[in-house]
A and B are shown apart, each in its own frame.
Chain A
């Protein structure tokens, strides 16, 4: 296996997250009617990071955050070798008439987001739904889904894997 290639280093990732926060603020003013929803498992960390960053910029905002697990809504159940083990869903608010931002780290085929739209509707009918992703793997969609906010766009082949790492060594890398 060749050495992982860097897409965004720690500093670049930090700048991108700040830009995404400001783009969200353009459309959601004080976030009073907005819910950020991280998709389990990996979108949750990005969502938490965005909420933290918004809190630093505007401590008076009270940004609502939830996590949504879409395992039971997937369209590839029983097509995989093993069933996926679900993660937890934590949504303590009704989404009725809310402005929802679905958040995931990497947008690839779009099937996860399709399932998330289904799963989300079980918690109410939002007035609008937007999609925010850190990495958009362009030209690899299986369904007609496009993001509203994009951190970084990449063109990579199917065999390559884009991984977002969190924690002390935050970065985005490409593995062959």
Chain B
């Protein structure tokens, strides 16, 4: 196997007394569609934030394409496209203006930005909404414009936090097609999701994390061990079994 495109080493982050990410290491090889799974509060977003330069880790390193995200940010960020979750966008710009802004921030020439922006808007079904302010977009449209912003500079590594959340089935299929094509041409995708079926159908490698620790990582089949991903996930993370008596008042008769 060649050198991984994304390598996390012993990443650690503590918020107050809570250890959000605990010495987490992870390798993502070239040309893979990588699924990051974990229950709510597992540390997925925190991990992705530390891998993309948004949140300084307490310890550990994140290497993208051989460049340390925290020692040489410009080199590491140049080939990375990121769709963060739960952060605002410059939403008083229209969709087209926002795309242009992201392109120019990346130092792209104006001509390329304009051409690619039109293509992206058309591909994601946002052409009509190109001159509407992003603040007036629906949740799904925001996800799509965010994805377009992550794609505009043709990165080699995509880090997507919950890219399918609130996206309608038609756009979801479009996004899947875009991502498959991207990986087929040698790109690498890391995405987080809560939908096991989606990860099973889309990803070739997965990692399961809970309470900031890596529980399992490898190819889809290695992690599944012959079970469904859902079953395996529950076995690893541990289900919260309901006692026979709990919530008995909820049963209507």
Please indicate whether A and B come from the same complex rather than being unrelated chains.
no
Chain B residues within CB distance 8 Å of chain A: none
Chain A residues within CB distance 8 Å of chain B: none
